[in-house]
Amino acid sequence: MADEQRLTRTLNPRSIALFGTSPAQSVIEQCRKLGYTGEIWPVHPTRETLGDLKCFKSVADLPSSPDVAFVAVNRHATIDVINQLSKAASGGAVCYASGFAESGLDGIALQNQLVVAAGKMPILGPNCYGYINALDGIALWPDQHGCMPLSSGVAIVSQSGNVGLNLTLQQRGLQLAYLVTVGNQASAGVEDCLEVFINDSRVTAIGLFIEAIVDPIRFAKLAQIADHRNLRIVALQTGRSEAGATIAASHTASLAGRRSAYEAFFTRCGVAMVNTPVELIETLKLLDQGGALSGNKLVSLSCSGGEASLIADLCEKTSLIFEPFSNEQHARIGSTLTELVTVGNPFDYHTFMWGDRKATANTFTEVMSGPQDATLLILDTPPMSDHDSKTWVTAAQSIGDAAKATNRRGVIIATVPECVTDAVRAAASEEKIVVLQGLHDAVVALDAAAWLAIHHANEVPAQVKVATSTQLINEADAKLFLLKNGVNVPSGKKCARHDVIETANQVGYPVTLKGLGLAHKSESGAVKVGLQSEQHILEALYTMPVSISEFLVEQTVVNVVAEILVSVRRDAPVGWLITLGAGGIYTELWRDTTYLLAPVSDSAIKAALTKLRIAPLLEGFRGKPAGNTDALVALVQCVIDIAINNDLVEIELNPVLVTPETAIAVDALLIASI
C-alpha cells in the first residue's frame, strides 16, 4: 500500500522539536502531564530557554533529526520551517497555523507551497490543533485536555481541533488512547491515522469526526484490514458540501446529498454511522468494553414499568428487538420472584429484593441465561454528594455476578446521563460491565454495535474523478444510446411537431407523447400517456408548450406493477452512487429511496429494493401479479456498467416501469462529461 505507515514515527516520537512560544510552552506542559520521557527540543532564534528547557537557534543546531516537530509560527514562517525540517529528514510535523486552503485563493497557493516544502515528510494540518497519544505519554497539544495515561483504549481522528478538544474533556468513562486532529489534510490525513491505529494492538476501536474522505479507495482497503482484525470503526460525518458533480436537472441531485453518498460508502466499508459527538462517545465505549454485539436481540431489566416502556419505545425504530422469554426461561425467572412480579421483556423486576446482592444476582442470572445478545440494566443513581448510592452499587455488582455466571454480556444504562456515580462506575468496571449514559444515546450505541455484527468491509468501490463540465443529452438520443448498450426502452421515434400523428400511426397505439428539450417534462405539461387516437394526439399537442419543436412518440407500456427510480451518479471522491426508489411523479414527494455504491452484487440490489416502502408492489400487492424483479436487477446492473465504462456523470431512469414480464425505462436523463 502506498505511503505505508507514514505517521508511525510522527505519532510515536522519542524526540520532539518545538517552534513558537506560547503554544510550544503548552506542548511542554502537556507532554510532562502525560509522562513523556523522550527528548523535547525548543527552537527559537532569540530565546535562551522555553519552559526551563534550553532553546536551539535553528533546525541545524538540533542534536539529531527530530521524530516530529510542532510548528506554531505564522503561516509564512511555517513554510520555511517545514522546508528546513524536510531537508533534515525529520519524521513529520504538526502545522498549527491557519490561513491556508481554508481561507481562500491566497491560502490555497500558500498550502501548495507548504506541500512542496514538506516533500516526502508527512505533515498534520495546516490549521491543525495537534494530537494526543495517551498510550505513550505524548501531547503535541497547545491547550488543556482531559486525557490520562492508558495501556489501551479507542483512537479518534478529527478534522476539527475544537471538537477534538471537547471529546478529550468527556466525563463518560471513555478510554481515549489517541486523539489526532488533521486540519486541512494537505499532506497526511485520515487514512494515514487509520493505518497507525490499525497496526497498534493497544487500540480497541476507532472513531472518526470528519467532513470528507480524501482517498476513498485507500480508506476502503484499510477498513478491510481493520475488519479482518476485528477492529470496528464508527463515523460522525458532518457538512453538506456540494457533490463532485451537482446536476440540478436530475431528481437524484435533490434526493441524494453528500450524506447519502457517505452512508452508502461507509456501509460498503463496514463503518457504523452516528449523528452526534455523544452518540460517538457512547458507541465507542460499548466497542471498547466488549466489542460489537453478537446480534440485535436484547433483554431489558428495570425496576420501573415506565423505564421498560421508554426503552421499548426508543428501540421501535431501530434494528433492536425484545423477544419474549421462552416458556421454560419464563418459569425459571418467575421462580426467583414473588407472584406479584409479571415476567416479560422488557422486564420490570420491581424492588422486592433491592439491596440484596445474592437474590438480585439470582434473578439476573436466570434472565441472562437466554439467547439474547445483551442484557440491559437501567440504573439511575442519585448523584449528589449527600446521597447514599450503596444499594445502586449492589445492583451493578449483581449484573456483574450474573454476567460472570452466564458468560453473557451485560450493559448498564442511566436514563438521565448525569445519574451515574463514581462508585457505580467503579463497581461496573470491576465487573467488566460498560455504563452507557442517556437512554436515547445508549439505544443509538446499541443499534450501531448490533449493525456492526452483520455488516463488514466489502469490495472496494469503483474509483471516480470530478467532472469539470457537463452536457445534458436529450431523452431521445439518451434512449438510443441506452438501447444500443442493452437497456430495455419503449419502441419509439423522434419527430417534428407536424410529423407527430404520422409517427404515432407508425409506432402503434396506445402511444405516449413527450416534448423534448425540457428537464422536467411532467411539470411543464409536456407528457401525455396512453393516447389512443389521432384526435387524442391533436388535443394533447394543443395543451403542450408552443416552444417545443421536437417530440418523442413511444408505445405506452401496459400492465405496470411498479414505477422505480434507477440512477447511477458520479459522486467524487466517494464513488458511483446508485439510487433506487419510488419512481414517477411522486419521487420527490415520497422520498422513498435507498443507496448503494458500485460495483454491487445482484443480491445486494434485491436486498436494497426490499427496503423500499413500495416493495410490496414488486412482490405482488393485494392479489396483483408480482413484478419481474430479476429483469429490474439486470437493468440496474446494465446501467451501472454503462455509467462506469463511458465518460458519463449520471444516468437517471425515472421511471423504470416494472411489469410481470420485464422492466423498461420509459424516461431517461443522461449527463455526459465534456
pLDDT in tens, 210-230: 988 889 999 999 999 999 999
What is the dotted CATH code of the domain comprising 8-196? Answer: 3.40.50.720
Q: What average pLDDT is seen over the chain?
A: 92
HSE-CB for 29 with a 13 A CA cutoff: 11
**Residues paired with 15 in a beta bridge:** 39
Judge contact between 69 and 89, C-beta under 8 A: no
Q: Packing angle between helix 277-288 and helix 161-168, nearest 10 degrees?
A: 50
- C-alpha–C-alpha distance, residues 441 and 447, integer Å: 10
Cell of 515: 416534448
pLDDT at 519: 66
pLDDT for 634 beyond 70: yes
pLDDT for 481 beyond 50: yes
pLDDT at 361: 96
- C-alpha–C-alpha distance, residues 343 and 355, integer Å: 20
Q: How confident is the model at residue 339 (pLDDT cuts 50, 70, 90)?
A: confident
Task: Tell me which residue of 673, 653, 672, 674 sits closest to 664, measured CA to CA.
Answer: 653
152-156, 256-260, 536-540, 593-597: segment of lowest average pLDDT: 256-260
Judge contact between 19 and 28, C-beta under 8 A: no
Q: Packing angle between helix 216-228 and helix 190-198, nearest 10 degrees?
A: 20
Is the fold of 8-196 the same as that of 298-454? Answer: yes
Taken in order 35, 37, 38, 42, is the CA torsion positive or negative? positive
What is the dotted CATH code of the domain comprising 491-555? Answer: 3.30.1490.20
Percent helix, strand and coil across the chain, each to the nearest 5: 40, 20, 40
In the chain, what are the domain boundaries?
8-196, 298-454, 491-555, 562-673
Helix (H, G, I), strand (E, B), or coil: what is residue 134? coil
Q: How confident is the model at residue 4 (pLDDT cuts 50, 70, 90)?
A: low
Q: How confident is the model at residue 430 (pLDDT cuts 50, 70, 90)?
A: very high
Judge contact between 283 and 449, C-beta under 8 A: yes
pLDDT for 417 beyond 50: yes
Judge contact between 296 and 373, C-beta under 8 A: yes
Mean pLDDT in residue range 412-416: 97
- C-alpha–C-alpha distance, residues 228 and 456, integer Å: 9
Query: Quick one: DSSP state of residue 299?
Result: E
**Residues paired with 95 in a beta bridge:** 71
- C-alpha–C-alpha distance, residues 282 and 441, integer Å: 7
Dihedral through CA 655, CA 657, CA 658, CA 662, nearest 10?
A: -120
pLDDT for 294 beyond 80: yes
Which strands sit side by side in the sheet containing 272-273, from one edge to the other? 138-140, 131-133, 176-181, 153-158, 203-210, 233-237, 272-273
251-265, 507-521, 585-599: segment of lowest average pLDDT: 251-265
| pLDDT > 90: percent of the chain | 83
pLDDT for 243 beyond 70: no
Query: Quick one: DSSP state of residue 56?
Result: B
Residues 6+ apart with CB under 8 A from 339: none
Q: Strand locations in 190-335, DSSP E? A: 203-210, 233-237, 272-273, 298-302
pLDDT at 248: 35
Task: Tell me which residue of 80, 75, 116, 120 sits closest to 95, measured CA to CA.
Answer: 75
**CATH superfamily label, 298-454:** Succinyl-CoA synthetase domains (3.40.50.261)
pLDDT at 113: 97
Residue 72 identity (one-letter amino acid): A
pLDDT for 261 beyond 90: no
Task: Tell me which residue of 548, 460, 539, 463 sits closest to 504, measured CA to CA.
Answer: 539
296 to 346, 373, 409: CA distances (angstroms): 14, 6, 12
pLDDT for 466 beyond 60: yes
Q: How confident is the model at residue 307 (pLDDT cuts 50, 70, 90)?
A: very high
**CATH fold for the domain made of 562-673:** D-amino Acid Aminotransferase; Chain A, domain 1 (3.30.470)
Query: Quick one: DSSP state of residue 101?
Result: G
Q: Which one is predicted more confidently, 471 or 203? A: 203
Helix (H, G, I), strand (E, B), or coil: what is residue 612? coil
Mean pLDDT in residue range 601-615: 95
Phi, psi of 656 (to 5 degrees): -95, 120
Alpha helix ranges (H) inside 369-486: 390-406, 422-430, 439-454, 475-484
Residue 477: how many other CB atoms lie within 10 Å: 14
Judge contact between 664 and 564, C-beta under 8 A: no
Per-residue model confidence as pLDDT tens digits over 358-399: 999 999 999 999 999 999 999 999 998 888 889 999 999 999
pLDDT at 468: 76
Dihedral through CA 148, CA 149, CA 151, CA 156, nearest 10?
A: 50
Q: How confident is the model at residue 257 (pLDDT cuts 50, 70, 90)?
A: low
Residue 155 identity (one-letter amino acid): A
- C-alpha–C-alpha distance, residues 553 and 52, integer Å: 85
pLDDT at 529: 93
